[in-house]
Amino acid sequence: MGPLRSDVTTFTVKLVSSHTLLDLTKITERLGWKPRYDLEATIRETVEWYQKEKPVMKEE
């Protein structure tokens, strides 16, 4: 295992790994906001892209 990257801190690990959910009720009701992309479809597309591109990627 190599050295830790300087931008990986305890704070960033906690932030990225937290299970906090956002409530979008106010922005939806007051401003009529809607997400641009469907979360499940976007995750699925990302996984498919990664599986396709993984053999091409090289380790640093």
- Per-residue pLDDT of 4-60, as tens digits, reads 566 778 887 777 777 667 788 898 999 999 989 888 999 999 999 888 887 766 655
Whole-model pTM over 0.85: no
8 in any annotated domain: no
11 in any annotated domain: no
Q: How many domains in the chain?
A: 1
The helix (run of H) or strand (run of E) holding residue 6 is none
| Domain range enclosing 45 | 22-60
